[in-house]
């Protein structure tokens, strides 16, 4: 099969053939290259690591109240059907001398989202990474998402949203802390949000 381009492009060409399409027709002739580039981007999280994402954004600070970043948009690929799922991630942690730059939390979410995922693993990866890196008094992550595999195939339930949470440390042990976080992520309106 020489001259057909890189492996991913050959695989996409073969996939199109298996679907009954002609990959050489005008509308599809560049599709294998476009799809290969799209998949490289959609799985770019495999080529990143936590150290590079957080790149020295850890600071020592005597702040001991809850830090919340909510409504972090993400897009990922379900590993079971290779279809997209997307939604919002809400993160909170209670520092114990270490804080991280606020922009790094969405970047961490993005790194894990840009891999083949299941909802539960995604939630756990974000929470456990923050726990390991920051060593906070507590960390919690709530992820809510819509799955194209539920919307387009199978059960075809248009309003089904999956929600998972991981609560560690103070968030697991203290009902008031949990309730405060849940109230903060439910809050709409206000001055800035």
> What tens digit of pLDDT does each residue of 57-76 get?
888 988 889 999 999 999 99
Work out whether strand 138-147 and strand 98-100 pair parallel, antiparallel, or are unpaired: unpaired
Domain 52-186 has CATH 3.40.50.1100: no
For the chain, domain boundaries: 7-42, 52-186
How far apart are the two ends of the chain, measured CA to CA in Å? Answer: 55
Q: What is the DSSP string of 61-104?
A: ----S-EEEEEEEEEEEETTTS-EEEEEEEEEEE-SSEEE-TTH
- Banded model confidence at residue 192, pLDDT cuts 50, 70, 90: very low
Question: What whole-number distance in Å separates Cα of residue 13 and Cα of residue 7?
Answer: 10
Distance (Å, whole) CA 149 – CA 105: 27
Find tokens 């709530």 and name the residue: 142
**Token pair recorded at residue 159:** 């309003």
Whole-prediction pTM: 0.88
Percent of the chain with pLDDT over 70: 92
Query: What does the alpha-carbon distance between residue 48 and residue 40 come to, in Å, rounded to a whole number?
Result: 13
Average pLDDT over residues 24-42: 96
């Amino acid at each position: 099969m020489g001259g057909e381009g890189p492996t991913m492009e050959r695989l996409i060409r073969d996939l199109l053939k298996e679907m009954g399409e002609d990959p050489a027709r005008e509308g599809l002739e560049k599709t294998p290259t476009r799809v290969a580039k799209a998949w490289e981007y959609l799985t770019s999280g495999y080529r990143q690591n936590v150290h590079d994402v957080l790149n020295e954004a850890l600071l020592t600070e005597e702040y001991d109240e809850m830090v919340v970043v909510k409504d972090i948009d993400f897009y990922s690929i379900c590993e079971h059907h290779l279809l997209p799922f997307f939604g919002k991630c809400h993160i909170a942690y209670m520092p114990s001398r270490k804080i991280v730059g606020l922009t790094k939390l969405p970047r961490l979410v993005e790194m894990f989202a840009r891999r083949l995922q299941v909802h539960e693993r995604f939630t756990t990866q974000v929470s456990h990474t923050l726990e390991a890196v920051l060593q906070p008094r507590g960390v919690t992550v709530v992820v809510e998402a819509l799955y194209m595999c539920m919307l387009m195939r199978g059960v075809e339930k248009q309003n089904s949203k999956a929600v998972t949470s991981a609560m560690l440390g103070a968030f697991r042990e203290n009902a008031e802390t949990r309730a405060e976080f849940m109230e903060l992520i439910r809050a709409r309106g206000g001055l800035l949000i």
